[in-house]
């Protein structure tokens, strides 16, 4: 297509200084110095004003610098190394193929499309491979993806550095990207076939298409599902291209070299990029010379020298400016170069091909297309991807755990894990584990397909010993109420949360206090009661003084009787009851008004304080929450803490300042026995465990205060465990589907302990016992007074 472009310019009668444009062809083999040497030998022999190529990025770096030194532009059609985009380093370099920076963006969007977040990159150790792998890794990191391994294919020894099978099988990712040219990709795939790390165990993505039908027929099934991602022309993405120019180029190719012309559908995309690179030179040269020829007999002015490095294109700057301004619709799409970088500005397209079965074997079929203006879309509306394993379901990027035997440790703590004796139909007695954790394991087995081998760790073990068991390989994973802490995370990895936790304080329910006969008097202080008594008596004397002569109710009575009636009047108004006579004088009314005011305030205050005191009396516990423990309202030796647990870490960190002054408990069961036996007054433990215990088993224990030190329980697993991502994904799925919430409701919201008999909201007789005693005393006194009055009445009758 390079020659076709030159010959087409001649057919179009495009001339420079009255002469047709000619060409020289130099064959390179990928050797940097060899390519430079071949180019240097041709430069002194003709007026070369531009270089199309080279093919390899490692050669392009050298040729681009050489072009800049003699002031002639270089346009590559296949060098994709992102480092070549630097305009300041390569001022005369251009390319019609897209940079691998665009490929990295396309790869990110491909991973997003299929919910992949990790990969392994195998790359050839040269400018092309290293540059592509670097920019892909950077793009993945920027988007939260992870490159698990970077594997080198040595282009000198033509082999992978390291054991490919070991590298891949021990990696946490199952997506493999190869960034290598066709020849090296063939060797890598052959190595992968021998190591048995192709499909369906891994999904492979290649940067170049190989002839898949060339592989052994018995191996072809493992190649099914491979994807290739490579730059293509606009026609593949239904974008506009110059079909007139393309057909003319094809005609010339068939006319001059018909033996090398393939089918039109099999023309390599890089050949079309080469045509546009050549046509860019022709267009720019024509535009440049049309301006120069008016002022100069020749637009090509070169400082001649037999040594290639001493030759110099004198007007090269103007030619380069003309090239930068060139815009045309080429056979690959719209061609326009960027000003600040060496890359093509428009016409950037990629195709994803999928290895599938065809009539005569296997072949890479286009299934997706991408452009710099649109994300991945189907190649046609009927395009279907056949994934490794001959499935239509997209694979995950993490290892499958299906049919893998897992040694699982569970910790016997109610209601997370409990053992239950079961008698089967044959009368055999066996133990079955039930609870939140066994149900969670069942859900994970149904989703992931692993084979659980469960061991119940006795409740007298410590939580830290569970971590030790994972580190030492006793268990593959531990599923328990194991709190995720920074110290534990240094030794093992944890899954996403399987239970959202906090700490709570547990204590005994408050027993009935000893009877307080004067409880009803406590809303007011003793001094206030004395003042009220004095005020009542004082106002009584004043009422007697003001009213005795004018008030019929006080006349015809003895002095003592009048004073008593007046004090009765004061008392009745103070308590808000009133009396059976009214005052008659102005002074009496004024005192009555003052009594009303006093009554209004006193009764309201008494009522409010009494209600408050009774409420406090009902809700009073040993402590009100964790703050009381921190403030020392309880002896630290009366606080129970389970040792070798995250609760002990919290106590030492937040309460005691590292001093072990608490009462040590070995297990969670010791909390309840120690509380019931009055060995401790309170204990701190995980909320879920305590909520279950106080609502189902230990009805005479209660929780005080609110939750604190919020944390999560996670599944403990070894560091860099192969199936960590698979486990996390399925736990998150259980959470999003609400199944974890259903488990929590099932195991933690039951209630065998009824609240209603034990907690009463009514006023107890004990709190008002003193009032009733006084009432009874007054009744007795009134009865005695009645008897005394009757006796006095009989004596009068008898005398008469």
- Quickly list H helices, 114-242: 127-142, 164-169, 182-195, 220-223
Tell me how far apart the alpha carbons of residues 31 and 326 are, in angstroms, rounded to a whole number.
31
Task: Identify whether the C-beta of residue 98 lies closer than 8 Å to the C-beta of residue 231.
Answer: yes
For residue 125, the 8-state DSSP code is S
- Cα–Cα separations (whole angstroms), residue 80 to 142, 201, 341, 768: 21, 30, 13, 93
Task: Identify whether the C-beta of residue 75 lies closer than 8 Å to the C-beta of residue 277.
Answer: yes
Q: Give me the numbers of helices (H) and strands (E) for the chain, helices first please.
A: 24, 30
Tell me how far apart the alpha carbons of residues 374 and 79 are, in angstroms, rounded to a whole number.
24
- Please state the rounded mean pLDDT for residues 456-484: 91
- Please state the rounded mean pLDDT for residues 154-183: 95
Task: Identify whether the C-beta of residue 183 lies closer than 8 Å to the C-beta of residue 210.
Answer: no
Task: Identify whether the C-beta of residue 682 lies closer than 8 Å to the C-beta of residue 629.
Answer: yes
Task: Identify whether the C-beta of residue 751 lies closer than 8 Å to the C-beta of residue 696.
Answer: yes
Tell me how far apart the alpha carbons of residues 127 and 124 are, in angstroms, rounded to a whole number.
8
Comparing C-alpha atoms, which of 701, 60, 125 is closest to residue 134?
125
Tell me how far apart the alpha carbons of residues 313 and 331 are, in angstroms, rounded to a whole number.
29
- Quickly list H helices, 293-383: 316-324
**How many residues would you count in the chain?**
800
pTM: 0.68
- Cα–Cα separations (whole angstroms), residue 371 to 121, 228, 269: 23, 16, 15
Please list the residues that pair with 79 across neighbouring strands.
Answer: none
Q: What is the largest CA-CA distance in the chain?
A: 169
CA torsion 701-707-708-714 (nearest 10°) is 100
Cis bond upstream, residue 200 (ω within 30): yes
Element (H, E) at 59: helix 57-70
Domain boundaries, the chain: 2-79+272-322, 100-237+350-378, 519-600, 767-799
Beta strands at 701-713 and 639-642: parallel, antiparallel or unpaired: unpaired
Beta strands at 312-313 and 302-303: parallel, antiparallel or unpaired: antiparallel
Q: Which residue has the higher pLDDT, 694 or 50?
A: 50
State the burial class of residue 424 (Cβ atoms within 10 Å of its Cβ: 0-12, 13-18, 19+). exposed
**Architecture of the CATH domain 100-237+350-378:** 3-Layer(aba) Sandwich (3.40)
Comparing C-alpha atoms, which of 95, 49, 45, 96 is closest to residue 72?
49
Tell me how far apart the alpha carbons of residues 653 and 444 are, in angstroms, rounded to a whole number.
35
Contacts of 290 (CB under 8 A, 6+ apart): none
Per-residue model confidence (pLDDT) at position 616? 58
State whether residue 565 is helix, strand or coil: helix
* Ramachandran class of 410: left when φ > 0, alpha when ψ lies in -120 to 50, beta otherwise: beta
Per-residue model confidence (pLDDT) at position 757? 45
For residue 337, the 8-state DSSP code is B
- Cα–Cα separations (whole angstroms), residue 480 to 58, 314, 415, 416, 683: 55, 78, 11, 7, 21
Residue 204: half-sphere exposure toward Cβ, Cα within 13 Å: 32
Q: Which residue has the higher pLDDT, 489 or 615?
A: 489
pLDDT tens string 94-136: 999 999 999 999 999 999 999 999 999 999 999 999 999 999 9
State whether residue 782 is helix, strand or coil: helix
CA torsion 28-32-33-39 (nearest 10°) is 50
Tell me how far apart the alpha carbons of residues 634 and 628 are, in angstroms, rounded to a whole number.
7
Report the percentage of the chain scoring pLDDT > 90. 50
Cis bond upstream, residue 312 (ω within 30): no
Cα angle 670-673-676, degrees, rounded to a multiple of 5: 145
pLDDT tens string 584-634: 877 777 777 777 777 777 788 778 877 776 665 555 556 778 888 888 888
Tell me how far apart the alpha carbons of residues 598 and 670 are, in angstroms, rounded to a whole number.
57
Per-residue model confidence (pLDDT) at position 755? 53
* Six token digits for residue 737: 């589907």
Class for domain 519-600, per CATH?
A: mainly alpha
| CA dihedral sign of residues 340, 342, 345, 351 | negative
Comparing C-alpha atoms, which of 40, 87, 95 is closest to residue 62?
40
Residue 209 pLDDT exceeds 50: yes
State whether residue 94 is helix, strand or coil: strand
Per-residue model confidence (pLDDT) at position 30? 83
- Please state the rounded mean pLDDT for residues 725-744: 92
Q: What is the CATH number assigned to the segment(s) 2-79+272-322?
A: 3.40.50.2300
Residue 220 pLDDT exceeds 60: yes
Task: Identify whether the C-beta of residue 544 lies closer than 8 Å to the C-beta of residue 563.
Answer: yes
Tell me how far apart the alpha carbons of residues 351 and 232 are, in angstroms, rounded to a whole number.
6
Residue 759 pLDDT exceeds 50: no
Comparing C-alpha atoms, which of 457, 430, 454 is closest to residue 440?
454
Task: Identify whether the C-beta of residue 92 lies closer than 8 Å to the C-beta of residue 70.
Answer: no
Tell me how far apart the alpha carbons of residues 568 and 650 are, in angstroms, rounded to a whole number.
64
Task: Identify whether the C-beta of residue 535 lies closer than 8 Å to the C-beta of residue 547.
Answer: no
> Mean pLDDT, the chain, as a whole number?
87
Residue 73 pLDDT exceeds 80: yes
Per-residue model confidence (pLDDT) at position 446? 94
Per-residue model confidence (pLDDT) at position 787? 64
- Please state the rounded mean pLDDT for residues 663-686: 89
Task: Identify whether the C-beta of residue 520 lies closer than 8 Å to the C-beta of residue 770.
Answer: yes
Per CATH, 2-79+272-322 and 100-237+350-378 having the same topology is answered yes
pLDDT tens string 401-440: 888 999 999 998 888 998 888 877 777 777 889 999 999 9
Cis bond upstream, residue 2 (ω within 30): no
Across 54-102, the runs of DSSP E, i.e. the strands, are 74-76, 93-95
């Amino acid at each position: 297509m390079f020659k076709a472009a030159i010959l087409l310019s001649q057919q179009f009668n495009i001339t420079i200084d009255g002469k047709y444009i000619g060409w020289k062809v130099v064959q390179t083999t990928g050797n940097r110095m060899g390519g430079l040497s071949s180019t240097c030998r041709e430069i002194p022999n003709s007026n070369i004003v531009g270089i199309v190529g080279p093919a390899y990025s490692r050669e392009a770096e050298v040729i681009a610098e050489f072009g800049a030194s003699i002031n002639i532009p270089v346009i590559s059609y296949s060098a994709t190394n992102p480092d070549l985009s630097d305009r300041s380093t390569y001022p005369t370099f251009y390319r019609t193929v897209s940079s691998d920076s665009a490929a990295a963006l396309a790869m990110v969007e491909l991973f997003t499309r299929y919910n992949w977040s990790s990969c392994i990159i195998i790359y050839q150790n040269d400018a092309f491979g290293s540059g592509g792998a670097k920019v892909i890794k950077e793009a993945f990191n920027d988007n939260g993806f992870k490159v698990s391994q970077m594997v080198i294919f040595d282009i000198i020894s033509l082999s992978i550095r390291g054991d490919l099978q070991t590298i891949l099988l021990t990696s946490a990712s199952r997506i493999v990207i190869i960034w290598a040219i066709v020849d090296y990709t063939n060797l890598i795939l052959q190595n992968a076939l021998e190591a048995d790390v192709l499909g369906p165990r891994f999904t492979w993505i290649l940067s170049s298409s190989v002839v898949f039908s060339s592989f052994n027929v018995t191996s072809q099934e493992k190649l099914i599902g491979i994807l290739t991602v490579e730059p293509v022309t606009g026609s593949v993405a239904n974008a506009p291209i110059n079909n007139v120019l393309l057909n003319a180029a094809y005609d010339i190719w068939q006319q001059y070299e018909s033996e090398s012309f393939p089918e039109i559908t099999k023309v390599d995309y890089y050949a079309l990029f080469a045509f546009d690179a050549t046509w860019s030179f022709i267009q720019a040269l024509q535009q440049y010379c049309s301006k120069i020829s008016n002022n100069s007999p020749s637009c090509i002015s070169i400082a001649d020298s037999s040594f290639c490095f001493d030759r110099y294109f004198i007007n090269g700057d103007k030619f380069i400016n003309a090239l930068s301004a060139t815009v045309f619709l080429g056979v690959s799409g719209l061609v326009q170069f960027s000003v600040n970088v060496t890359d093509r500005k428009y016409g950037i397209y990629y195709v994803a091909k999928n290895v599938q079965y065809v009539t005569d074997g296997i072949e890479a079929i286009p299934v997706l297309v991408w452009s710099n203006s649109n994300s991945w879309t189907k190649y046609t509306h009927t395009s279907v991807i056949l994934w490794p394993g001959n499935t239509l379901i997209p694979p995950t990027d993490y290892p499958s755990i299906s049919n893998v035997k897992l040694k699982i440790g569970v910790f016997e703590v109610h209601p997370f894990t409990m053992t239950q004796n079961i008698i089967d139909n044959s009368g055999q007695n066996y133990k079955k584990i039930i609870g939140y954790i066994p149900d969670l394991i069942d859900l994970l087995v149904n989703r992931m397909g692993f084979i659980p081998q469960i061991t119940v760790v006795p409740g007298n073990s410590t939580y830290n010993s569970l971590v030790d068991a994972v580190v030492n390989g006793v268990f593959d994973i531990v599923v328990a109420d194991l709190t995720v802490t920074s110290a534990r995370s240094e030794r093992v990895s944890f899954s996403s949360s399987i239970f959202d936790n906090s700490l709570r304080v547990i204590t005994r329910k408050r027993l009935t206090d000893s009877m307080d006969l004067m409880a009803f008097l406590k809303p007011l202080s003793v001094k206030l009661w004395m003042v009220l008594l004095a005020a009542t008596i004082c106002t009584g004397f004043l009422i007697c003084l003001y009213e005795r002569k004018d008030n019929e109710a006080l006349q015809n009575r003895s002095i003592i009787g009048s004073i008593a009636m007046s004090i009765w009047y004061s008392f009745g108004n103070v308590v808000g009851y009133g009396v059976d006579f009214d005052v008659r004088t102005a002074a009496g009314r004024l005192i009555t008004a003052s009594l009303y005011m006093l009554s209004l305030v006193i009764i309201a205050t008494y009522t409010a304080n009494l209600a408050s005191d009774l409420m406090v009396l009902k809700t009073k516990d040993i402590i009100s929450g964790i703050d009381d423990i921190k403030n020392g309202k309880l002896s630290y030796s009366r606080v129970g803490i389970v040792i070798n647990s995250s609760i002990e870490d919290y106590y030492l960190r937040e309460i005691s300042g590292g001093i072990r002054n608490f009462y040590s408990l070995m297990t969670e069961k010791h909390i309840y026995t120690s509380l019931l036996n009055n060995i401790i007054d309170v204990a701190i433990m995980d909320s879920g465990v305590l909520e279950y215990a106080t609502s189902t088993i230990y009805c005479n224990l209660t929780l005080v205060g609110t939750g604190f030190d919020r944390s999560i329980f996670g599944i403990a697993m070894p560091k860099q465990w192969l199936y960590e991502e698979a486990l996390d994904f399925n736990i998150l799925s259980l959470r999003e589907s609400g199944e974890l919430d259903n488990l929590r409701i099932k195991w933690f919201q039951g209630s065998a302990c009824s609240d209603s008999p034990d907690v009463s909201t009514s006023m107890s007789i004990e709190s008002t016992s003193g009032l009733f005693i006084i009432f009874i005393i007054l009744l007795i006194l009134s009865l005695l007074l009645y008897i005394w009055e009757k006796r006095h009445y009989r004596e009068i009758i008898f005398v008469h």
